[in-house]
Structure 1
Amino acid sequence: MKITLTGALGHISRPLAQHLLAQGHTVTIISSNAERKEIEALGGIAAIGSITDADFLARAFAEADAVYAMVPLDFTVPDIRAHSQNIGRAYAQAVRTSGVKRVVHLSSWGAHLAEGTGPIIGSYEVESSLNELPQVSVTHLRPGYFFQNLYRFIDLIKNAGFIGANYGGEDRIVFTSTKDIAKVAAEELTATGSEKIRYLASDDITASAAAQIMGAGIGKPALQWVTFTDEQAFAAFQEAGMPVMIAHLFVELGAAIHSGAIREDYDLHRPIAGETKLRDFAREFAAVFGEKVV
């Protein structure tokens, strides 16, 4: 098969490309010029351009049997929702122009909601654009909270001795490994048919249980995940130098996790169970934790 991937050589697209290339597929990877040599060394075909350019995308999608579409978060844009809408429309236009019949879109838990999910609102917008495509098989992969997001708490653990956010304690979090996402994406891209929406969960545990697992890995078995108020979380983001707009988005996202709204649709579906558990990731976290100097 001929498959085109977006996402450059990121945490998901790199292992995804490796899975597909190992299976003998022809893989084109959309990226910036800086990664051309690395893509070619991997065995892929580099397509250098921007995912906001529908004409470029159409050329990159030409003759492809399937396309993997994702939207990297960009906190430098003034309006994340509008930015995602533009990319979603570019994807949809490129698919129509190129004639691609199979699209696997990296979405997110909470993408069923049109409001109140912070940066995840972008996934809702891209899903909406792709759902309008006629005679195209589209599958939205909806993973949960990436394990890598836990790295942002390293400084707080070292300075304050706990994990803290405006969600925590007994709030249940759907954690997902990017390695598991890559494996499922590879399976979906080469499948003849699939469900419209597929949730992915590597672990589904409380924040307190997650803190215990992470704490055990770094020699802090009593580590706690403290629940802040929205106001406390916003103040902490501001103190860390986060722009006001971005701070508001993350507070909104945290509130959706705390209320359970973000996982309402997830709880109505049987997710694909990932192989990588938080205990596995905890070893990687411990290595980074030990190396990082505050």
Structure 2
Amino acid sequence: MIVITAPTGNIGHQVLDHVLAGDQPVRVIVRDPAKLPTDVRDRVEAIKGSHADPQVVTRAFDGADAVFWLLPPDRNAPSAEEAFVGFTRPAAEAMRRQGVKRVVDVSSLGRGTAPAGEAGYVTASLAMDDLIAGTGVAFRALTMPGFMDNMLRQARVIKERGMFFDVIAPDLRLPAVATRDIAAVATRLLLDTTWTGQEEVLVLGPEDLSCNDMAAVISEVLETPVAYRQVPIEALRAQLTGPGRSDAMVQGMLDMMIAVDNGLYGGIARTPQHAIDTPTTFRRWCEDVLKPAVRSA
């Protein structure tokens, strides 16, 4: 039995589709089963509720061989630690109690490279990994940089203004990964019954690009000029602050972005295997995903 959390989200639904192509029974934890596609609903066992609920995860993890653990966004959490560690604590206890064999989670780069101070969501994410590892379960933490798919949030701005914005220095080269590659790596691990122990798995994408590099690629793919504009961190704070988002979660996002700009992803050694495991280049992603999104924005 493979259990998948957040099965209607951007990554989770892709993992679910891939796993259903195999022959393993699948169970999902979902707040609203009606949001599952009809053909999927008929092929999975759906446990209704939140995967932060002790009773829900106890039921869902009964007889589970593997669990895909992915947090939902909680913009109003009292702290980043509560959003990651607090949310995961009931599941970690259920993993141990129910004898789950293997867990794959979505985490972040930064262990060993994070600044001495607080790195916001990254610090909380790594603490979540430590909590899961402490159960003794066989564990693979998928540690990754920013997602290419985050650019979709600015599809309308790209279309209407010919630019996109971030707080990152324009020439700082960073890794980026497509969510479809994350889902593919997760699926391989979930279907593989042979691995043991606990490891971090670097999910880097095939290349490092700066925001200026990305602007050049987007311009070529869309066949129209697109520029990158760096904004001050306080401008991002103003954009994020508002109803439905706690001050602590805003600060957690800002702390993470500051850490990235200050070298959070520095010192990571690429190997040819990273391009094999996560082959989607930014150009290919722009052609397949961003271009249609911009056209329809």
What residue in structure 2 maps to residue 207 of structure 1? 211
Cα-to-partner distance string for 1:125-177 (whole Å, 9 max, x where unaligned)? 2112112112x211101122111211223344356542222103111222111
Structure 2 counterpart of 1:171, one-letter code: L
Structure 2 counterpart of 1:51, one-letter code: H
Residue 255 of structure 2: which of 252, 256, 277 is its match? 252
1:98-247 equivalence runs, <5 A? 98-110=98-110, 113=114, 116-134=118-136, 136-158=137-159, 160-191=161-192, 192-193=194-195, 196-202=199-205, 203-221=207-225, 223-237=226-240, 244-247=247-250
Structure 1 ranges of 4+ moved more than 6 A: 239-243
The percent of aligned pairs where both chains have the same amino acid is 23
TM-score, normalised to structure 1, is 0.86
Distance 1:189 1:245, change over 3 A: same
Work out whether residues 138 and 196 of structure 1, in 8 Å CA contact, stay in contact via their aligned partners in 2: yes
What residue in structure 1 maps to residue 9 of structure 2? 10
1:18-97 equivalence runs, <5 A? 18-35=17-34, 38=37, 40-41=40-41, 43-97=43-97
Work out whether residues 65 and 102 of structure 2, in 8 Å CA contact, stay in contact via their aligned partners in 1: yes
CA distance in 1, matches of 2:84, 2:61: 19
Is 1:275 the counterpart of 2:276? The answer is no
Work out whether residues 210 and 278 of structure 1, in 8 Å CA contact, stay in contact via their aligned partners in 2: yes
Structure 2 counterpart of 1:217, one-letter code: V
Is 1:287 the counterpart of 2:292? The answer is yes
Distance 1:219 1:34, change over 3 A: same
Distance 1:27 1:238, change over 3 A: closer
CA distance in 2, matches of 1:36, 1:287: 24
Distance 1:196 1:76, change over 3 A: same
CA distance in 2, matches of 1:137, 1:163: 41
- DSSP 3-state at the match of 1:107: strand
> What is the CA distance between 1:42 and its match in structure 2?
5.8
Distance 1:198 1:169, change over 3 A: same
CA distance in 1, matches of 2:257, 2:167: 5
Distance 1:159 1:250, change over 3 A: farther
- DSSP 3-state at the match of 1:24: coil
CA distance in 2, matches of 1:287, 1:30: 31
Structure 1 unaligned blocks of 5 or more: none
Segment drifting more, 280-289 vs 238-247: 238-247
Distance 1:37 1:84, change over 3 A: closer
Structure 2 counterpart of 1:212, one-letter code: A
Flag the structure with more relative contact order, 1 or 2, with Cα contacts below 8 A and sequence separation at least 6: 2
CA distance in 1, matches of 2:107, 2:156: 29
CA distance in 1, matches of 2:161, 2:35: 42
> What is the CA distance between 1:8 and its match in structure 2?
2.0
Cα-to-partner distance string for 1:166-205 (whole Å, 9 max, x where unaligned)? 1031112221111111111111123311660001122421
Work out whether residues 65 and 101 of structure 1, in 8 Å CA contact, stay in contact via their aligned partners in 2: yes
> What is the CA distance between 1:241 and its match in structure 2?
10
> What is the CA distance between 1:29 and its match in structure 2?
1.0
Work out whether residues 75 and 245 of structure 2, in 8 Å CA contact, stay in contact via their aligned partners in 1: no
CA distance in 1, matches of 2:259, 2:247: 19
Segment drifting more, 96-105 vs 211-220: 211-220
CA distance in 1, matches of 2:123, 2:42: 33
Work out whether residues 7 and 16 of structure 2, in 8 Å CA contact, stay in contact via their aligned partners in 1: no
- DSSP 3-state at the match of 2:203: strand
Segment drifting more, 81-90 vs 244-253: 244-253
CA distance in 2, matches of 1:224, 1:272: 29
TM-score, normalised to structure 2, is 0.85
Work out whether residues 87 and 126 of structure 1, in 8 Å CA contact, stay in contact via their aligned partners in 2: no
Structure 2 unaligned blocks of 5 or more: none
Segment drifting more, 148-157 vs 277-286: 148-157
CA distance in 1, matches of 2:292, 2:274: 28
> What is the CA distance between 1:52 and its match in structure 2?
1.1
Segment drifting more, 192-201 vs 57-66: 192-201
Work out whether residues 5 and 70 of structure 2, in 8 Å CA contact, stay in contact via their aligned partners in 1: yes
CA distance in 2, matches of 1:37, 1:279: 31
CA distance in 2, matches of 1:43, 1:170: 47
CA distance in 2, matches of 1:103, 1:179: 19
